[in-house]
Chain A
Amino acid sequence: MIELRGLTRHFRVGDQTVRALQDVSLTIPDGDYLALMGPSGSGKSTLLHILGCLDRPTGGMYALDGREVGSLPENELAAVRSRKIGFVFQFFHLVPRLTAAENVELPMVLAGMRPAERRARMTKALAAVGLTDRAAHRPDQLSGGQRQRVAIARATVMGPSILLADEPTGNLDRASGHEIIELLERMNGGGLTLVVVTHDPEVGQRARHILKLVDGRIASDGGSP
């Protein structure tokens, strides 16, 4: 469960202050499917980064599963990211010199998991995204859709409770994009909280809720049912 109360995020650019987020209050229950929409510069990516503990709010409160995480030090934020959060990016962010299998294993390697368990989980995660036969391929030997599926396997392999996707279809053709959304929705169906940042209204419409941001403020909140 994610709770934001009066969240603000300011950036200093030169001698100006950019208010990327202003007074954002929001509750995302476990297992929700939320689309963050809005024009460029509306603050939706900033919000996603704060939700993913990559960035810290300037003010306000962020509680994740009842724990205030907005002001945690860097090391503890990293631990929260490792255990609870999976990221999917527009440009996949696969490590080019590692195979699909090794890319999926990477978060487990970073967490210091034993090799046997790593292998078992990696095999399962690749199977879940339908890429068992591509395990030994490097990213440059995979199509865009396949790369994103590897990234989704990597994002879910640690068993997080939240999956954050930043324009996951932004760099894919329609058919592949559709497949990726369906895959993400399947993960959501399995109980994962899914937050998708998107420009694409077609993608946004599929979410259970849509949150529209304009100039760092919530313009319309579909609310939880």
Chain B
Amino acid sequence: MSLGDLMAFAWRALRGHRLRTILTLLGMSIGVGAVVLLTALGEGARGYVTNEFMALGSNLLIVLPGKTETTGNAPILGGTIRPMTLEDCEAIQRRVPRVRRLAPLSVGSARVGYGERRREVTVLGSTPELLPVRHLEIAVGRFLPDVDLDRGAPVAVIGRTVQEELFGGANPLGQPIRIGDWRFRVVGVMAAKGQSLGLNMDDVVIVPVTSSMRLFNQPSLFRILIEVGAHSEIDQARREVLGVLRERHEGEEDVTVLTQDSVLGAFDRILGALTLALAGIAAISLSVAGIGIMNVMLVSVSERTPEVGLLKALGAPPRQILKVFLVEAVMLSAAGGLLGLLIGYLGSSILSRAFPALPAHPPAWAVSAAVIVSLLAGGLFGVLPARRAARLDPVLALAGR
């Protein structure tokens, strides 16, 4: 019996039980579709985060106070953290030529007011370099003035939301605002940017770093953002920055320097694991679908027992009976798999159209795994019913027993 004949025979059998076939197909296609769609979702999330970081430029170093990597040794000298200061910034800029741009960052939260209106806002302290380092844009006016680091001018640049909330339609440029108990003059408004790395950049006020450190009475910077000339120099620059800071901090390495790659790598691992977890959940539905196929095939075999008897009477050896039912099961699961691919791709294209920021494309490994597993499921879960059919006693089978 040729494969073509086997498939034609199986096709007739499947068509003979339309509803049952469709329901089984549905089970399998939901399983495959779930794998495709959920892994697409996971990949989309990963792509989204990667894009967010790439938008910052790939040659960024982030210096933060404190040591995140622990050593086995217990700290001998109390382990107090020295503040990360503006002098540190100047030393880095002076002594590490690979540093192209550097932006110190201090962060606080304060009540900002204009006239009768007030708003609780995140206040960022930095230098004019923040603009290129964080890829920000000015909508109206200008950014922070380029003055000496330690001069805290009473000027502020406000985000789009802050402008709308405090000024409404009025022109904010040149207007005085209160931040805490201090007065600042608005010199510029940021272009709308939205959420970036967990901070709503539209709902911030940016002031010179010295001003914000005095305002919040902070001895230490929150971060130093460093942009390196080229991506290839990033590791060298990281070592040099660490070297300068260690020297200035009396030989103690009490800061952490993160590279963009390491942060991205961590996120990548986490989200990769998320994708795998989603794939695992989807795989469960796939295996349930496989069991569904087995169930249907078992029903089919017991329903068609007299037919099996007939095939045997007509001279079909057990292997051939096995093939007949196995081909039927594999066709069922393969068709379900294809339908599932269709559902998965359709779903993920709808998803990525509805949320353009989420690049939800099913990964090739998940797609091929889903298809292969669906085929295997048909073969694997089809074996038991097919063997049962092949082993039927022809005389009893003809009698329908």
Contacts and interface: CB of A to CB of B under 8 A. Distances in A.
A79 B315 contact: yes
Contacts of B253: none
Given A78-B316, A81-B313, A82-B314, A93 B398 contact: yes
A54 interface: yes
B361 interface: no
Contacts of A52: 313
Nearest to A76: B317
A98 interface: yes
Contacts of A93: 306-307, 309-310, 313, 398
Interface residues of A, number: 26
B395 A54 contact: yes
Contacts of B1: 109-112
Contact of B313 (A54, A95, A96, A98): A54
Contacts of B5: 109, 112
A33 interface: no
The secondary-structure label for the interface of chain B is helix
Contacts, number: 67
B315 A97 contact: no
Contacts of B313: 52, 54, 81, 87, 93
A110 B320 contact: yes
Nearest to B316: A110
Given A54-B394, A75-B319, A110-B320, A97 B12 contact: yes
A78 B315 contact: yes
Interface string B63-85: 00000000000000000000000
A43 interface: no
Nearest to A151: B310
B315 A81 contact: yes
B292 interface: no
Interface in B298-334: 306-307, 309-320
Interface string A134-167: 0000000000000000000010001000000000
A105 B283 CA distance: 42
Contacts of B395: 49, 54-55
Nearest to B5: A109
Interface of B: 1-2, 5, 9, 12-13, 15-16, 306-307, 309-320, 394-395, 398
11 contacts: A49-B394, A54-B395, A79-B315, A81-B314, A82-B315, A89-B398, A93-B306, A93-B310, A109-B9, A110-B311, A110-B315
Interface of A: 49, 52, 54-55, 74-75, 78-79, 81-83, 87, 89, 93, 95-98, 106-107, 109-112, 154, 158
Considering the complex of A and B, which 9 residue pairs feature the smallest CB-CB distances, nearest first? Answer: A82-B315, A78-B317, A97-B16, A107-B314, A81-B315, A54-B394, A75-B317, A93-B310, A110-B316
